[in-house]
Amino acid sequence: MGEGEWTDDEVLQFLLGNHSNEEDKQNETLSTYRRRKVQNDDYIDRLSTPLIEVLSVCISSDFNDGEPCEIYGSILALEEQCPLFDLYDRSNPEDSETIVKRGTLSLKGPDDRAIIPSLSPTLHICLKDRIRGVEVVNGHLNLELGDEDSCDRLIKRAVEGAYGVAYVYYVVFQFAVYGTFEVRVTSNDNDGKKGNVADIYGSIVAEYENATMYCNDDDEVKLFAPRLFDEPPHLPLRVLLGTPIRLFRNVLAVPAYSSLSIKVNLCDSNGTIADGCLEFPAYTLGDKTLCIQTQYACVEVTVRWHHAYYYIYKDRFAKYSKPETGKRQKTEMLFDCEPDFPPCIPRKVPSYHFGSLGTEVFSVFVAGLTEKVSTLCGAITVDALGREIPIYDRDDSCPEMLSEDVLASVDVKHRGIRTSEIGMVLYLKDLASQLEVCRGNLRWCVGNLGGYMSFYNLRLCSIVRGDNGYAAVHYTIFDDSFEASVEVKCFCDGHLDNSIYLYGTLFGRYGEYDYSTSYQLKYYSSKLFDQPRDRPVETKAGSQITMLKSKVMVPADSFLIIEANMGALGIDGVEDTIHGTVEFNIDCCSTVTREIIGKSYRVEISVNFN
């Protein structure tokens, strides 16, 4: 360990505020910690979104004559009913490929970006058999983001036709970026002469790190090794040296916490050009080039990383396009297919009230790469222009026992986060295995939040990696918001001295925001109260309930919705359910109180906007 570096225990104790030597560390700030401890790019966050990767399409025909099929046709990907790209394009019968029973098609993949589940993607599959002159399959398949159980799992869906079935294998990565690929071969002759062309054959395969996270069967794991290039020796591809090779696939969606291994095995008439493996950790933006160098040739593989926010919010970003002619035209081309969003009628804030910049951290999802995280401890600290706000704080003596959904309870210590610049430092570990879940930071400032492509008011997700896991931080930075202080009380038939045992959940959400998917509902709701039925919290009737979070940042053009799904049990054995929602318009002049009433109990919710 170098001089001045901290041990992991010192990092944890510092983030928890347990400084062993206050005199030495009183001037130590989070930015100083970041410079000293977080020096590797592995500790910088990745901005991610849910993305879909179609791994394989398998054809099973109904023909029993023992002969293979010669398949041609198309598989077209659409988003919001607009054509996006071809996954399979063999419209000419002369271009058909021979497919044995339950054989896989040679997918070509997207050209510029990955498939986005929130944009209602659909596959239009039309496949024919040249030998028999019949249409095998013709149908549609929706690839929308499903329920929580279908994410990060290999999905197999069938599209039935008149003479067979097309099985589509795909995966919805919850926290993903996508990479675009470019491969070049250059000659390296000792005499300085460089050839112009080469006839190349062999394979280039991209393998996902930790593919067993998404499936267990060995045959299914092989699907997570898509081929970017595959040419047999008798049909080599003529390549102009120094220019990009034509690949089957140019784009792959990749989990933001993962890496891609590119395995290269290329040959020409003189023998092996390159045989090796290159590893590319996933990033949000930027490119990386790695080479396999041999005595006579060099193979360069470049991966350019991208996030999908520009496409998810394309209607908004198109409005903020730069006025320069070239870039404006490019933007219009990218966003020429506008989604049909329902009209939004914002709730007006009185003109004599003004909001401020504010950040709402909704949830933190944690997961291990090889083992499940069961006992979480560590710290998440917000750096708001030098003001340190701990939003998660558990040491080894008080770990959080995580349930099956592995969603860490983020406690903002009853304070809103109002600042023009924001950073977070995360250090989390699993106490049971002593494995590091995540260690790193994320940071936003006015310079990269605003501009002609503003990231204000977007549902953001940052992935912070660790040696054995990752954390997904879901948050929004509002350019105009108000802080809502929430108080909750429970009453029982008017008696103020009775003890009440409460369990269930209380969530805060925003009016006119989309919560149509399970992903949005789970990760972008503010958890105010959460107690399991077997561990209810005791409170006195009429007393204020202790909550996980008592302050919520609310955007100025919206309103606060609080949803209760609670149960109450009295000492007399009377049990009741309290379900319902209440709305609170932004009003800085008074405290507003609403009630949700059950049969024997009622919950009183009071909100004051600052």
pLDDT value of residue 158: 95
State the DSSP string of 474-537: EEEEEEEEEEEEEEEEEEETTBSS-EEEEEEEEEEEETT----SHHHHHHSSEEEEEE-TTSPE
User: Rounded CA gap, 321 and 314, in Å?
Assistant: 10
* Pairing mode, strands 499-510 and 526-531: antiparallel
User: Rounded CA gap, 295 and 243, in Å?
Assistant: 20
> Residue 40: is its pLDDT beyond 90?
no
Residue among 54, 61, 55 nearest 98 (CA): 61
Are the beta carbons of 282 and 179 closer than 8 angstroms?
A: yes
User: Rounded CA gap, 429 and 421, in Å?
Assistant: 27
State the DSSP string of 362-413: EEEEEEESSS---EEEEEEEEEETTEEEEEEEE-TTS-EE--TT-EE----T
**Angle value at C-alpha 607, between 606 and 608, nearest 5 degrees:** 130
Are the beta carbons of 377 and 395 closer than 8 angstroms?
A: yes
Structural domains of the chain, ranges and CATH numbers in brackets: 49-175 (2.60.40), 176-306 (2.60.40), 310-341 (no CATH), 356-609 (no CATH)
pLDDT-derived band at 90, boundaries 50, 70, 90? very high
pLDDT value of residue 408: 65
pLDDT digits (tens, 9 = 90+) for 43-52: 567 899 999 9
Joined together, the tokens standing for residue 392 give 């998660």
* Cβ count near 335 (within 10 Å): 19
Furthest-apart CA pair in the chain: how many Å? Answer: 97
pLDDT-derived band at 13, boundaries 50, 70, 90? very low
Residues of the chain with pLDDT > 70, as a percent, come to 80
3-state helix, strand, coil in the chain (%, to 5): 10, 50, 40
pLDDT-derived band at 410, boundaries 50, 70, 90? low
Top pLDDT among 150 and 465 is at: 465
pLDDT-derived band at 368, boundaries 50, 70, 90? confident
Top pLDDT among 159 and 417 is at: 159
Arithmetic mean of pLDDT, 68-85: 91
* Cβ count near 139 (within 10 Å): 15
pLDDT value of residue 29: 37
State the chain's mean pLDDT as an integer: 82
* Pairing mode, strands 387-394 and 356-368: unpaired
pLDDT digits (tens, 9 = 90+) for 519-536: 899 899 999 999 989 889
* φ/ψ (deg, to 5) at 28: -80, 120
pTM across the whole model:
0.84
User: Rounded CA gap, 181 and 248, in Å?
Assistant: 10
> Residue 256: is its pLDDT beyond 90?
yes
